[in-house]
DNA sequence: CTGTTAGCGCTTTCAA
DNA sequence: TTGAAAGCGCTAACAG
């Protein structure tokens, strides 16, 4: 009985106008006589009419939505970014479609699917390492793409400099007088891991110091990796122990601290510790760390994307966000 | 030059078939002679054709997407839920549109917008307290709706029982021999807050005990709220101090612990402390707490939603997820 | 098995 | 200002 699907024709008929007019009041486009508009609006209310966005989008060739693409996990790292994204989208009546895409061979294909599906007007890819893939197909499309946490000149890009971050940490320790510094890196293969290693070496070399191979470990950014690495280091003869440890993530730094605690070693007195990320726990444990502006990263990414969609950006936008060393109590 | 937008007609023409056939191979619907199908597939590859989903959706009257609606903040509480949602969506080729909607007067209207926009086939609302609103319009629509972390019989619903959770905590303390127990609740107005208070009273009364008004505090679930509340409690004459404190969130429990530390009070020896949520930090600080299965909540919500969309559910699905008391070192 | 045709519900010229 | 008509790109009968 209840004709569930009231459409623009129903409104037009009941209001005694053409669908073109209804469409016009819907979009506030062109002039519509106030009297007519009021009548239409009234009927829309009566019928409880709301436009079918799918149809609007198809007809207008815009999706009123953006895609945010993230790799495998929505972890705590990503929460701040997402908050920034959300806030930047606030007020805009633009939908956020969240895609989780693994970084494998099929990655670019899946992204192309999204692009050509026409369901979104723009794409924000967070730490997807797109610049390491074959992205020429994506370049051919004229859809705006912003890469967050990834530096490249082929797309708009907002990024952090891991090399600098690592240098900051090491220089800080160096200035404190430390000379034997251990570095517990993340995954060797990850961009973050390799860049942070570069930064460490660079900082050390600028003082004519070398990174001792026994004091360089790799892990997966997790607590247990830091714990294991530190255990290995502490199993070295004591004279080889470092006076400071820089961990590529706070989680690893926590593992380091645990390994130290088991040997009744205290930071910073016995061995100083610096982490990376500034996670909640780091604040609580008063770990000196490198803070990354994740919220800003998300926010700016969307700001740029929206501007790009509106054609308000010339060329490729590129911006490095500043890191900060948070001096606390472990170093 | 490059005719960017290759559509189904281009494919049909080049393959020498009708668009109906192309559509059939696209959807694997009906039989298509293998030879024809191969030809079409080949042409699609050549032309790098990918279907316009907007058009597909409009024509097929399905969106291939679901909406996940959450209130103001994507906070750490929500991360686990989102992970569960994501994992449940894995394999399905269904898009996830994330809507953040404030719980104000406009809430239901915004939700109706989403429903009638036809952009999604179903809705998962997480802790939105929809059952406290005027939701009859939503009920009229025949779109599947699943409420997560909210109990109701008008929609599918997956929920947690805060009353039970609070009872568990209090009973645990009672069994440990505590009789003077303080309760630091969350917001008085929140469903969680009021239910947990009910649970506390219920558990106490079952042993003929009363909740002393001086030992009942309200806060906003944050660390500083717990801290302040505990300070107030500790400013009472010492004979009025509780021997145990139950905080409605781990964050508040941490605040409690801080306030105690300042007075050189230890948990559990001086005063026992139980939290709620099982956040990361609680694990690290070894806080005894009530664990809520947030990941499962997200996962099951989507499972149910997908089934409902496929018409595989009779009546209203309703399930309570079990809480667990995690016994650690503060109580 | 497959081509043709009629929508899906809107936006957008084009005239009037 | 406004109505009519032509799409947007695809799905889904309906014949054949």
Q: CA-to-CA distance for B89 and A177, rounded, in angstroms?
A: 52
Q: In a structure prediction context, what are the per-residue pLDDT tens digits for chain A, which is 331 residues long?
A: 344 679 999 999 999 999 999 999 999 887 789 899 999 999 999 999 999 999 999 999 999 999 999 987 667 778 889 999 999 998 889 999 999 999 999 999 999 999 999 999 999 999 999 999 999 999 999 899 999 999 999 999 999 999 999 999 999 999 999 999 999 999 998 889 999 999 999 999 999 999 999 999 999 888 899 999 999 999 999 999 999 999 999 999 999 999 999 999 998 999 999 999 998 888 888 999 999 999 999 999 999 999 999 999 999 999 999 999 999 999 9
Contact B104, B166 (CB under 8 A): no
Q: Is A158 helix (H, G, I), strand (E, B) or coil?
A: strand
What element of type H or E holds A294?
Answer: helix A294-309
Nucleic chain D contacts, protein chain A, residues 23-42, CB cut-off 7 A: 24, 30-33, 35-37
**Integer CA distances (angstroms), B15 to A36, A298, B9, B51, in order:** 49, 44, 10, 16
Q: Which residue is nearest to nucleotide D2 (CA to C1')?
A: A21
Nucleic acid strand D within 7 Å of B56 CB: yes
What pLDDT does residue A2 have? 42
Instruction: Name residues whose C-beta falls within 8 Å of residue A60's C-beta, 6 or more positions apart in sequence.
Output: none
- We find that the CATH architecture of domain A65-160+294-323 is 3-Layer(aba) Sandwich (3.40)
What pLDDT does residue B73 have? 63
User: How far does the CA of A95 sit from the C1' of C8, in Å?
Assistant: 22
Main-chain dihedrals φ then ψ at residue B214, nearest 5 degrees: -70, -15
What pLDDT does residue A1 have? 34
Contact B21, B32 (CB under 8 A): yes
Nucleic acid strand D within 7 Å of A207 CB: no
Which tokens in the block code for residue B42? 């080949």
Residue ranges, comma separated, of all CATH 3.40.50.2300 domains in chain B are 65-160+294-323, 162-291
**Integer CA distances (angstroms), B6 to A144, A297, B9, B29, in order:** 19, 35, 8, 22
User: How far does the CA of B20 sit from the C1' of D12, in Å?
Assistant: 9
What pLDDT does residue A284 have? 86
For domain A162-291, the CATH class is alpha beta
Find out if CATH 3.30.2320.20 is the number for domain B3-60. Answer: no
For chain B, residues with pLDDT lower than 70 are: 1-4, 73-74
Q: CA-to-CA distance for A331 and A243, rounded, in angstroms?
A: 10
Largest CA distance in chain A: 92
What pLDDT does residue A74 have? 65
- Name every chain A residue with its beta carbon within 8 A of the beta carbon of B55: 58, 118
What pLDDT does residue B29 have? 81
């Amino acid at each position: 009985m209840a004709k569930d699907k009231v459409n623009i024709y129903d409104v037009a008929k009941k209001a005694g106008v053409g669908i073109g007019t209804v469409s016009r009041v819907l979009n506030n486009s062109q002039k519509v006589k106030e009297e007519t508009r009021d009548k239409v609006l009234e009927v829309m209310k009566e019928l409880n009419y709301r436009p079918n966005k799918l149809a609007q989008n198809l007809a207008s060739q815009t999706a009123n939505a953006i895609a945010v693409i993230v790799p495998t996990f929505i972890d705590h790292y990503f929460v701040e970014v997402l908050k920034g994204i959300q806030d930047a989208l606030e007020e805009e009546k633009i939908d956020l479609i969240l895609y989780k895409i693994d970084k494998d061979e099929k990655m670019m294909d899946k992204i192309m699917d999204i692009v050509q599906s026409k369901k979104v007007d723009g794409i924000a890819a967070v730490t997807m390492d797109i610049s390491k893939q074959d992205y020429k197909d994506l370049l051919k499309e004229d859809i705006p793409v912003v890469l967050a946490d990834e530096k490249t000149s082929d797309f708009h890009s907002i990024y952090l400099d891991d090399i600098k971050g690592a240098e900051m940490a090491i220089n800080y320790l160096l200035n404190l007088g430390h000379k034997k510094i251990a570095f517990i890196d993340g995954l060797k293969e990850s961009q973050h891991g390799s860049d942070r290693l570069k930064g460490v070496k660079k900082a050390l070399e600028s003082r004519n110091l070398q990174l001792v191979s026994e004091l360089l470990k790799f892990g997966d950014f997790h607590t247990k990796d830091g714990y294991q690495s530190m255990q290995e280091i502490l199993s070295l003869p004591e004279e080889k122990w470092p006076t400071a440890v820089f961990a590529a993530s706070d989680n690893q730094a926590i593992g380091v601290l645990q390994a130290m605690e088991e040997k009744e070693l205290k930071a910073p007195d016995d061995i100083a510790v610096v982490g990376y990320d500034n996670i909640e726990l780091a604040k609580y444990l008063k770990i000196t760390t490198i803070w990354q502006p994740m919220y800003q990263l998300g926010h700016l990414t969307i700001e740029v994307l929206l501007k790009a969609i509106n054609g308000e950006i010339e060329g490729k936008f590129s911006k490095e966000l500043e890191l900060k060393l948070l001096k606390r109590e472990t170093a």
